[in-house]
Each structure stands twice: as C-alpha cells, then as structure tokens.
Amino acid sequence: MEGANIVAPVDTMGCEQAQVKEVDPRACRISTLISLMLSSQTKDEVTDAAVSKLREAVGGTITVEAILSADENAIADAIAKVGFWRRKTQYIKQTAQKLRDEFDSDVPKTVDELCSLPGVGPKMAFLCLHVAWNINVGIGVDVHVHRITNRLGWHKPPTKTPEETRLNLQSWLPKELHAEINHRLVGFGQV
C-alpha cells in the first residue's frame, strides 16, 4: 500500500507514548494526562521532550505525589518550551492537588470529572479516557480534525465548531473507530 511506511510525529511522540517510560499504571495514566495538557498549542516533538524533562525533574516517574513535591520552578524549567508554559505550570500543580484531594491520586474516569481539572477540555478528556483507561465515550476533536473532516466533505452541511464536528462524526462513524480517528487525522495533517 502506497504511503504505509509514513510515520507522523504523533505516531512516535503522541500522548500514547508518554506512558511508555512509566511502570506503575497510575503513573502511566498521569503522564498521559500531563502530556495532553502540555500538547495544547505545541508540536508533538516539543511536548514529548517536555514530558521527558518533567519526568527527570520530578524524580524519574510522573505521579501526583512527585508533582506536588516538586518545586514549581523545576516544573516550569522542564516545560518551558511548550506553548503557554507559565499557565500550564500552574495547571499541572493545581491538577495534581485536585487529583490527590478528589480522585485518590489517579486520573478520573469520566469526561465531566476530567473537564473539572484546570486546563483540561473535552478533546483532552475524550483522548485521555481512550488512552489512559481504554474507555470510549466519544471522539477527541481538535481544530485539525474539525478542519480536515470538513475539507474532506464528511459533514453535510459543513460543521461550524469542533463540538458540532464531534457530534456529527459520532452519529455515523462506527464506535470501534472513535479511539483512532483523532490520531489518524492528526498524523495525516502532520505529513
């Protein structure tokens, strides 16, 4: 098949990869969430490097306890190359606190609970549930998926917002494809 060997940055550095260097299941889920939080307005290569630097800065494994124990400046230095790093530093600290206080130091299992975390929106929540928990309750639609699916003519009439796009895609795309559509279209856009 033509193009079957093409590897996009999302294939080797997406949020799925953040958990690969972790052993503990909780740390896998937390690093997935943190990777998604850092990825907003940031290229996958930069996000991947920031997750690795953050892992080093907090002692080798990304846990709620490690983030809460880490100095805010150490977190900021580790993620300084991602977009909006100052705000994301605060979000990471606040999220760790909320995860400890309200979710037994683990990633929650619902979209609403995930969206209650600072800096986490619906797209991140759907992707986090797919990757961290293998729970499929919807499609993570970002601006890329929104634009690409409209350019491909998948929406009649064209959708105006990522949320409209998500609802339309979920109405006809087989549920078993929901988990991979974001990844595939982001990779398509990257290459």
Q: Which residues are catalytic?
A: 123
Q: Do residues 149 and 122 touch, judged by C-beta distance below 8 A? A: no
Q: Do residues 140 and 110 touch, judged by C-beta distance below 8 A? A: no
Helices within the chain (DSSP H only): 9-13, 15-18, 25-39, 44-57, 64-69, 72-79, 85-102, 111-115, 122-128, 143-151, 162-172, 178-190
- Backbone phi and psi for residue 148, each to the nearest 5 degrees, phi listed first: -65, -45
**Nearest-angstrom CA–CA distance, 119 and 93:** 11
**Nearest-angstrom CA–CA distance, 15 and 60:** 18
Number of C-beta neighbours around residue 62 at 10 A:
30
Q: Quote the tokens at residue 134.
A: 């293998």
